[in-house]
C-alpha cells in the first residue's frame, strides 16, 4: 500500500477499514429491519445518554447561545415586549432560526397571543385567513376580501388589547413573500391605537429576505423594522462548545469527540448546526457499532461520507481556509 510506511501506516489503514466496516454494518442492520429508534436507544445506553443529543427536531432545551444567537434572542425579546415591535431575523438554512423562535415562544410574557405562519400562502386573502385561524377568530361570512378581513382582524386586536393582552405575528420563510404580501405586512403595521401598535411582527427568513427588503419599492416597510438580527455559522471554538453542550443536556459528562474530531466536524459543517447534528448523530452510531467510547476524525469523516456520499460533505461545504 503506497503512501503508508511501517506499523503506524498499517494501523491507520486497519483503523480506516474497521471504521468503514462498522458504519456499513450499522446500515446493513438498519436495512434488515431493525428500527432506527431501537438502534438509537442502544447507542444512547452505550454512550451513557438519556436521549439522542443531536436530533434535528428543534428542542429549546438544547439551545446553545453563541454570541450571535444570544444577541439575536435579546433583540427578538426586546422587539416583542415593546408595543408593536417589528423584527427581522435572517440566517442560512440550518443556522438555528427555528430553534431560536421556539425559545422566543417559551419566553414570551404571559398574556401574549401568537399567530405563526410557517409557510406563507400565495395570496393576501389566504395570508390574512391564516392569521385569523391562528388567532382562533370567527370571521364573518361577508369577510371574503383583504379589506374586510383586515377590518375584522383590527377589531379582534382591539378587543385583545383592551383585555390587557398583546398579539405577536411570526412569519417563517418570509423570503418567499411576494411584493403583494409584503405590502399586506406593511398594512398590518398600521393597526394601532392612539398610543400603541396592536401587533408585534417577527419576519424570519433566509438572507434573501434582507435583499428583498432593501428594494426601493419596499422602503416604507423596511423603515418600520426596529431590529435586524442575522445568524451566522458557529466558529471552530463554538462548534466544540456546541457539541459539549448538547451531550451534557443528554446526560453525558465525557468528552466524546476528541479535539481532532471536533476540528474535522467543523471543517465538514462550516459551523452550521444542522449539519453538525446530522454528522455527529451518525458518528455516535458508528462508535456504538465499533464499541468505542471516543470518536476521532476518521469516524467523523466516514459518517459524513455515509450521509453525503463520496465527497463527504454537503455541496460546497469544504473549504481550504476554515478558521475559527
Right CATH number for 27-57+234-308 from 2.20.28, 1.20.1530, 1.10.8, 3.30.1490?
1.10.8
Is the model's pLDDT at 316 over the cut of 60? no
CA triplet 215, 221, 222: central angle to 5 degrees? 60
The torsion defined by the Cα of 171, 173, 176 and 177, in degrees rounded to 10, comes to 10
Helix ranges (DSSP H) in 32-96: 36-46, 67-81
The neighbour count for residue 109, using CB atoms within 10 Å, is: 11
Question: Could you tell me where the beta strands, DSSP code E, fall in the chain?
Answer: 86-91, 112-117, 166-171, 199-205, 227-231
Cα dihedral 132, 137, 140, 143, rounded to 10, equals -10
Task: Indicate whether 321 pLDDT > 80.
Answer: no
Answer whether 27-57+234-308 and 67-231 agree in fold. no
- Do 153 and 128 meet the contact criterion of CB atoms below 8 Å apart? yes
Q: What is the pLDDT of residues 180-214, one digit of tens each?
A: 999 999 999 989 888 888 999 999 999 999 999 99
- The C-alpha torsion from 185 through 190 and 196 to 198, rounded to 10°, is -50
DSSP annotation of 60: G
- Give the start-to-end residue ranges of the domains of the chain: 27-57+234-308, 67-231
pLDDT at residue 253, as a whole number: 85
Residue 63 grid cell: 439551545
- Most confident of the following: 49-53, 134-138, 243-247: 243-247
Please report where in the chains the cell 434572542 appears, as a residue.
Answer: 73
Task: Judge whether residue 84 has pLDDT over 70.
Answer: no
CA distance 109 to 115: 15
Give the pLDDT of residue 318: 46
Query: For the segment 158-169, what is each residue's pLDDT rounded down to a tens digit?
Result: 999 999 999 999
- Which of 3.40.50.300, 1.20.120.160, 3.30.70.260, 3.40.50.720 is the CATH number of 67-231? 3.40.50.300
Could you give the C-alpha distances from 158 to 28, 151, 199, 218, 296, in angstroms and in order? 60, 11, 10, 27, 59
Percent of the chain with pLDDT over 90: 62
**Between β-strands 86-91 and 112-117, what pairing exists: parallel, antiparallel or unpaired?**
unpaired
How far is 221 from 148, CA to CA, in rounded Å?
22
Model confidence pLDDT, tens digit, residues 9-59: 444 444 454 455 555 555 555 554 555 555 656 788 889 899 999 998 889
Amino acid at each position: 500500500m503506497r503512501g503508508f510506511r511501517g506499523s503506524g501506516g498499517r494501523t491507520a489503514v486497519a483503523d480506516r477499514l474497521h471504521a468503514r466496516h462498522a458504519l456499513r454494518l450499522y446500515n446493513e442492520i438498519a436495512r434488515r429491519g431493525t428500527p432506527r429508534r431501537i438502534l438509537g436507544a442502544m447507542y444512547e445506553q452505550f454512550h451513557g445518554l438519556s436521549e439522542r443529543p443531536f436530533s434535528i427536531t428543534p428542542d429549546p432545551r438544547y439551545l446553545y447561545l453563541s454570541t450571535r444567537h444570544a444577541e439575536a434572542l435579546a433583540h427578538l425579546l426586546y422587539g416583542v415586549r415593546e408595543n408593536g415591535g417589528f423584527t427581522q431575523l435572517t440566517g442560512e438554512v440550518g443556522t438555528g432560526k427555528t430553534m431560536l423562535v421556539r425559545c422566543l415562544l417559551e419566553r414570551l410574557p404571559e398574556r401574549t397571543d401568537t399567530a405563526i405562519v410557517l409557510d406563507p400562502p400565495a395570496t393576501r386573502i389566504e395570508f390574512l385567513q391564516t392569521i385569523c385561524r391562528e388567532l382562533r377568530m370567527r370571521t364573518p361570512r361577508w369577510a371574503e376580501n383583504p379589506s374586510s378581513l383586515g377590518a375584522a382582524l383590527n377589531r379582534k386586536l382591539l378587543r385583545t388589547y383592551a383585555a390587557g393582552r398583546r398579539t405577536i405575528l411570526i412569519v417563517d420563510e418570509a423570503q418567499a413573500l411576494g411584493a403583494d404580501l409584503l405590502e399586506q405586512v406593511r398594512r398590518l403595521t398600521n393597526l394601532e391605537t392612539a398610543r400603541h401598535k396592536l401587533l408585534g411582527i417577527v419576519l424570519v427568513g433566509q438572507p434573501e429576505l434582507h435583499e428583498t427588503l432593501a428594494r426601493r419599492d419596499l422602503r416604507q416597510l423596511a423603515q418600520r423594522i426596529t431590529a435586524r438580527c442575522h445568524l451566522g455559522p458557529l466558529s471552530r471554538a463554538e462548534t466544540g462548545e456546541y457539541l459539549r453542550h448538547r451531550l451534557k443536556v443528554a446526560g453525558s459528562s465525557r468528552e466524546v469527540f476528541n479535539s481532532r474530531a471536533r476540528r474535522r466536524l467543523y471543517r465538514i459543517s462550516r459551523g452550521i448546526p444542522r449539519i453538525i447534528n446530522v454528522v455527529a448523530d451518525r458518528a455516535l452510531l458508528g462508535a456504538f457499532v465499533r464499541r468505542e467510547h471516543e470518536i476521532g476524525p476518521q469516524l467523523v469523516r466516514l459518517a459524513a461520507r455515509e450521509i453525503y456520499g463520496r465527497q463527504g460533505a454537503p455541496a460546497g461545504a469544504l473549504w481550504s481556509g476554515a478558521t475559527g
